[in-house]
Each structure stands twice: as structure tokens, then as C-alpha cells.
Amino acid sequence: MPVAVMKTDQEIQQDVFRELRWDSRVDQTEIGVEVDEGIVTLTGTVKSYAKKVAAREGAHRVVGVLDVADDIQVKTPGGRDRTDTEIAQAVRTALEWDTFVPDQKIRSTVAEGFVTLEGEVATLREKGDAEAAVRNLTGVREVRNRLLVTAVKVDPVNLRKSIEEALERRAERDADRIRVRVEDGTVVLEGKVRTWPEKQAILGAVSHAPGVRQVTDKLAVNPWI
């Protein structure tokens, strides 16, 4: 494997700008980028919560970025904002139309464009899918995901083994770099990964495991390992 070369903050900043320009979901002219020792701060105003999330994800994809501080504000375009009632109706429709979401087990509260999701779902994957279903809706300023994963009695040893096997199948796990612990339905991931997408792939794989109620993410992104 070729040896990685450390980037300066200025180089990281330019790469983040290029990545945001490349991502068709983001208007790069709306976003400000500052970098200090690999920590990226995003500022500006965008037209939807989905664009805010897309900008955050775009910054994380850049090699050399260690952390992202998201200070982007969401302001709905046009002269008339959607009412909370209209947003709540749209949220309900989005949940009902998503085949991966148990909509009848989820309730939402909307206040000033902030959507709170509550209820119980079977897996962390369903929890994430529910948030994804509503965050692209016009008028949504933020999604607060308070869904709980139903408690399932599992053998922690077998659960850890199944998670490790899943990560190995996806070629995302280096046994020398990633450690998996299971504590009463909570999976603790520790170690180092080279990129943000690698980290997200690992978290995504874990979210499918039945019995996982929560993930404590202690994975550090370090492209120089």
C-alpha cells in the first residue's frame, strides 16, 4: 500500500470545496469551509435539512478530515414556510410510503420545523431508515431521532461473533485495528479506520444485527495508518 502524505489545512479546505462542488445535492456557493488541524467547520445557509446533511457527509468523505463541526443553518426558500401541521402530514405520508419503516410504531412531533421521532423499532437499521425517510422533506429544519430499539435477549458472545463475521465479509474490518465489545445490547466499536466511508460502512453493518440497541462509536478516522 502506498504511503499516505499528510495534507495541510489549506489543502484539506480546497479538497472539501471541490467535493462539495462535485456533489450535485449541494450548492457549494452556500457553504463556508474553515479547517484547523484537520477539523472542518461548515457555515452558511441552505434550503433544506437534506442539503445540510449532504454537505456534512461530503466534508467527511475527504481524506485528511478528522472531524466536522456543522454550523450550517436551514432556511426554507420562498415567501411562505410550511406550517408544522403540513410538515407533520408530510412526515406521516413519508413513513407510510417507506417499505423499510414500521410506520405504525412511530409517532412524530413537529415544532417550528424540528421533527422528533419516538416509538420502538426492531433494529438500528429501521431507526436510521425512519430518519432518512423524513429528512428530505421541505420545511424540515432538523430531525431528532429518539426511536428506541426493542430489547431482545441475545447471547453477547454470539452477537459479537456474528458482527465480526459480517464486518469480515464486507472486507471492512482489520482484526488488528477494530475491536468489538457487546455490553447488554450495546455494541462498543474501538480502533482506527482510514476513511469516513469505511467508518460508515462498519456502523451500517452493525445496525442490521438483531439485538443491537445502541452503538457506542469510538472509531477514530486516521488516513495515515
User: What pLDDT shows up at residue 80?
Assistant: 57
User: What pLDDT shows up at residue 193?
Assistant: 85
Q: Which residues contact 209 (CB under 8 A, 6 or more apart)?
A: 123, 124, 159, 162, 163, 166, 187
**Whether residue 145 sits in one domain with residue 98:** yes
Count of CB atoms within 10 A of residue 109's CB? 14
User: What pLDDT shows up at residue 202?
Assistant: 86
**Whether residue 161 sits in one domain with residue 145:** no
| Residue 35, in any domain of the structure | yes
**Region at 48 (left for phi over 0; alpha for psi -120 to 50; beta for the rest):** beta
Measure the CA–CA gap between 156 and 89, rounded to whole angstroms: 40
Residues 39-53 have pLDDT tens digits of: 999 999 998 898 999
* Residue-wise DSSP of 134-194: HTTSTT--EEEE--EEPP----HHHHHHHHHHHHHHTT---TTTEEEEEETTEEEEEEEES
As for how many domains the chain has, the answer is: 3
**Whether residue 53 sits in one domain with residue 26:** yes
**Whether residue 192 sits in one domain with residue 172:** yes
Contact between 165 and 205 under an 8 Å Cβ cutoff? The reply is: no
**Whether residue 100 sits in one domain with residue 54:** no
| Residue 22, in any domain of the structure | yes
User: What pLDDT shows up at residue 78?
Assistant: 62
Residue 120 pLDDT greater than 70, yes or no: yes
| Residue 172, in any domain of the structure | yes
User: What pLDDT shows up at residue 153?
Assistant: 79
| Residue 2, in any domain of the structure | no
**Whether residue 90 sits in one domain with residue 143:** yes
Query: Model-level pTM?
Result: 0.70
Residue 15 corresponds to which cell in the numbers above?
479538497
Residue 3 pLDDT greater than 80, yes or no: no
Q: Which domain holds residue 134?
A: 84-149
Side chain identity at 6, as an amino acid letter? M
User: What pLDDT shows up at residue 150?
Assistant: 87
Contact between 187 and 172 under an 8 Å Cβ cutoff? The reply is: no
Q: Which residues pair with 107 in a beta bridge?
A: 118
Confidence of residue 176 (pLDDT cuts 50, 70, 90): low
